[in-house]
Structure 1
Amino acid sequence: MSEIGRALRTARLAAGLSLQGMAARTNYSKPYLGQLETGARVVRPEHVTAYESALGTSLSPLYARLPVLARTEGELSIDLASLLLPIVPSGGVSGFALAELSAAERLAMWARGLQWSESSPPRGAVLDWLEVNLPRLQQIPPGTARAEQSLRVGAELADIAACMCWDIEDTDAARRFYLSSARLAHTAGDPALAAAALAGLAMQYLDQGRPEDGLEVAHSAQYIARRCAPPRLRGTLAHLLATAYGIVGDSAAFERETAYATECHLEAAEYPLADTALDRSLTALNLCFLLGPRRTWPGRGRQSELLAPSYRRLAETRPSLAEAAFGMDRTPVPANMIHPAVTVTSNARLQVMLGEPERAAELAAAALALAGPRAAGRTAARLRDFHHESLVFAAVSDIRTVRAAVADITIGR
């Protein structure tokens, strides 16, 4: 048993919690937590944060004892460089038969509509399709309309699989599928779709607290789509870069990319969304920012803490830019896809980062009214994110009141 794993186990037992009870509070599985405590898995900062939140106590001394995890040499560069080379086909397959292609396109459309479902996500159907057809896709030489359409639908299904794997924190699988999606799209001659898949990977790295890797991937996506990126894609990539720069504390770069992202989104707003694989991918990615993964903790509390100084500086120095950048509704969200309480909670969390606790409390109270007496799933997860992030303003009476209300309806959910 590792020293830090033993410390986590001691803290859990002191709180009178079993591994099963801790699993219910953190959304990590019982075996996963057991592996953390015994040293079979390396403990990362997000794991310590999860224990703190679940136990309601500070474990801050443990952060200094966490190992520094070096990135495997070439982990990103080798994979991303390979995207610039088309898949070399090993057979003479010209593409899916028309009936197969039609079925794959229907699967992609159906899966896109349900990929955020908490009760019945189509993950199994999509993964089964990819297991059978990814090897076939690697045998299709580009050059014909049907071949490129086959590669493109394969890229979209891999992108959907990546989103759903990230949603349940299977990050290794998500990374593989994002890269598969990008490579298929690039081979199909669709660098914009390839860049959208890489944008999803960049978002995953930011969510994992790896801003340097997120920057590398986002810059690679910009390079791949440099000649063909429509404004919506350019805006999404700029937003990712701004987030990464904000996390690492480069306020000037954060402001520059935020201004550019705002310009791109305003330009994109003049054009209606097209029903293309690219637009569907970007819509799903923007929903990732809003929805977050289904885990109940850790959420984006650490990101919020690191981003807040850049957000507040922007609000102080360029209030009109802050209003334009953070006040736009960029992604129309169908009511059956996201609970309204999640949208309102997202706005409340933004106000916390902008340093507006009274407005944040007002919005959080509205979210609680929408959530009802028993918040669960993503709604509970995002409210708990607000609970954690708003601790910095706990001395404000309205924040204190709403944090207590959040705790009442989310503990144990």
Structure 2
Amino acid sequence: MTEIGPALRAARLAAGLSLQGMAARANYSKPYLGQLETGARVVRMEHITAYESALSMSLSSLYTQLPVAAQHEGELSNELSAFLLPSTPVGGSGAGFTLTELDAAERLARWARGLQWSESTPPRRTVIDWLEANLPRLHQLSPGTERAERILRAGAELADIAATMSWDVEDTESARRFHFGSARLAHTAGDAGLAATALAGLAMQFLDQGRPEDGLEVAQLAQFVARRSATPRLRGTLAHLQATAYGTVGDTTAFERETAYAAECHLEASANPPADTAVDRSLTALNLCFLLGPRRTWPGRGRQSELLGPSYRHLVATRPRLADAGFGMDQTPLPANIIEPAMAVTSTARLHLMLGEPVRAAELAGEALTLAGPRAGGRTVARLRDFQHESLEYAKGSADIRAVRTAIAVLTTAR
């Protein structure tokens, strides 16, 4: 874990400046700076610059510790603005794509969707090879014919798949590039729903990286893009993303508002089962992203419970019926060959941690360990590690939590 937040605190204290004094000099609120210094917020380039200015000292060594995403923070607004510009294709409506090529691209998208979560043979390289070979041709397409719009949609879905698989292995720069590429292709095809789902995937990626403000900005753009054509399921997904962002930054009022709207949308969507369209396949994949998480292979501190927990606990305490509806959102059946029983139980255990129910969480984590067995691997181990880190706050007060944390450590240490 980066030590950049504590380093900022050390620099402030060395200068003899209180947090309140720093807030006055840096034009940030005292709680905001406290979150930066404790690691509750991601430190970005502008934060280091503000500290340097306020303290009249160089903190240049901290810039090299910034996450890659934070180093390129200023690029996001330009990318979002560019997305809304009209496309300027330079070729004809056919651009050389034959019906045979179109059929092959659509088959590739369906095949890759089914295998994108494979632990052993994910088709990432195959999909990226197709995109690298065909993106120049796709960018030359002018919409207006059925063939052009179909190949653009197929390309958009393949780029969305490539983005998800890149995020899965923590190649965040490629994931971001493919998410934007997918949204642009869908936008060119006139498919606002597919463009919005690609942007929703990018918003989810930012939330996973600890960048809720950026996740919120992208989710709002997705909502704007799909404002006239969004299905209840898509509206619910976008509202859920916004709720997660608001909850992460501690805006409980906005969190509850978006959670209520998301629950309402999902209730409406439950009466209409999802169709087999690129949009629905993308939304199903996005829901899997939330549940599965990326395929992390190193120990890392879980942040979701710590950051979102207070908002969820407040919701349970003040509006329990809404909490029940919110936690039951999107009951789309998930493939049994992707969601192993141990994974599903671990996810439920982590939810109970977030709700402040360590006893029930420990029971479920113990059940997950039994289901996983001694040879567990892949995402199952990664999510158990997440539980181990997220349960730290309860370790002192719960013998059950301590016992299950020890068992997870024994299982995962050799991995």
- TM bucket normalised to smaller: 0.7 to 0.9
Q: How many residues align?
A: 357
| Matching residue of 2:197 | 196
Task: For residue 91 of structure 1, give the secondary structure of its aligned residue in structure 2.
Answer: coil
Task: Check conservation: 1:296, 1:384, Cα contact below 8 A.
Answer: no
Question: 1:246–1:66: structure 2 CA closer, same or farther, 3 Å change rule?
Answer: farther
Q: CA deviation at 1:333?
A: 1.1
Query: Among residues 397, 407, 411, which one is paired with 2:399 in the alignment?
Result: 397
| Matching residue of 1:83 | 83
**Partners of 1:343 and 1:283 in 2: how far apart?**
16
Question: 1:344–1:299: structure 2 CA closer, same or farther, 3 Å change rule?
Answer: farther
**Partners of 2:201 and 2:301 in 1: how far apart?**
16
Q: CA deviation at 1:339?
A: 1.3
| Matching residue of 2:220 | 219
Q: CA deviation at 1:157?
A: 0.2
| Matching residue of 1:183 | 184
Task: Check conservation: 1:152, 1:185, Cα contact below 8 A.
Answer: yes
Q: CA deviation at 1:329?
A: 5.5
**Partners of 2:86 and 2:74 in 1: how far apart?**
20
Length-normalised TM-score, structure 2: 0.82
Q: Deviations over 1:226-278 (max 9, x none)?
A: 11110111111111111111111111111111111111111111111100000
**Partners of 1:329 and 1:186 in 2: how far apart?**
26
Q: Deviations over 1:86-108 (max 9, x none)?
A: 32112224252110000001100
| Matching residue of 2:316 | 315
Q: Give the structure, 1 or 2, with the largest relative contact order (CA under 8 Å, sep 6 or more).
A: 1
**Partners of 2:361 and 2:72 in 1: how far apart?**
41
Task: Check conservation: 1:299, 1:381, Cα contact below 8 A.
Answer: no
Q: CA deviation at 1:80?
A: 1.6
Which segments of 5 or more consecutive residues in structure 2 lack a partner in the other structure?
A: 8-38, 43-60
| Greater alpha carbon shift after TM alignment, 176-185 vs 88-97 | 88-97
| Matching residue of 1:51 | none
Task: For residue 301 of structure 1, give the secondary structure of its aligned residue in structure 2.
Answer: coil
| Matching residue of 1:228 | 229
Q: CA deviation at 1:83?
A: 2.0
* RMSD after superposition: 2.3
| Matching residue of 1:122 | 123
Q: CA deviation at 1:174?
A: 0.5
Task: Check conservation: 1:352, 1:389, Cα contact below 8 A.
Answer: yes
Question: 1:298–1:205: structure 2 CA closer, same or farther, 3 Å change rule?
Answer: farther
**Partners of 2:411 and 2:252 in 1: how far apart?**
37
Task: Check conservation: 2:93, 2:143, Cα contact below 8 A.
Answer: no
Structure 1 segments of 4+ aligned residues over 6 angstroms from their partners? none
**Partners of 1:180 and 1:329 in 2: how far apart?**
27
**Partners of 1:239 and 1:139 in 2: how far apart?**
35
Question: 1:202–1:178: structure 2 CA closer, same or farther, 3 Å change rule?
Answer: same
Q: CA deviation at 1:393?
A: 1.1
Task: Check conservation: 1:304, 1:389, Cα contact below 8 A.
Answer: yes
Which segments of 5 or more consecutive residues in structure 1 lack a partner in the other structure?
A: 8-44, 49-64
Q: Write the letter of the residue equivalent to 1:195.
A: A
| Greater alpha carbon shift after TM alignment, 187-196 vs 330-339 | 330-339
| Matching residue of 1:407 | 409
| Greater alpha carbon shift after TM alignment, 234-243 vs 361-370 | 361-370
**Partners of 2:246 and 2:240 in 1: how far apart?**
10
Matches within 5 A, 1:319-398: 319-328=320-329, 330-394=331-395, 395-398=397-400
Identity %: 72
Q: Write the letter of the residue equivalent to 1:147.
A: A
Q: Deviations over 1:13-61 (max 9, x none)?
A: xxxxxxxxxxxxxxxxxxxxxxxxxxxxxxxx79x9xxxxxxxxxxxxx
Task: Check conservation: 1:87, 1:184, Cα contact below 8 A.
Answer: no
Task: For residue 370 of structure 1, give the secondary structure of its aligned residue in structure 2.
Answer: helix
Question: 1:3–1:411: structure 2 CA closer, same or farther, 3 Å change rule?
Answer: closer
Task: Check conservation: 1:292, 1:299, Cα contact below 8 A.
Answer: no
Q: CA deviation at 1:403?
A: 1.3
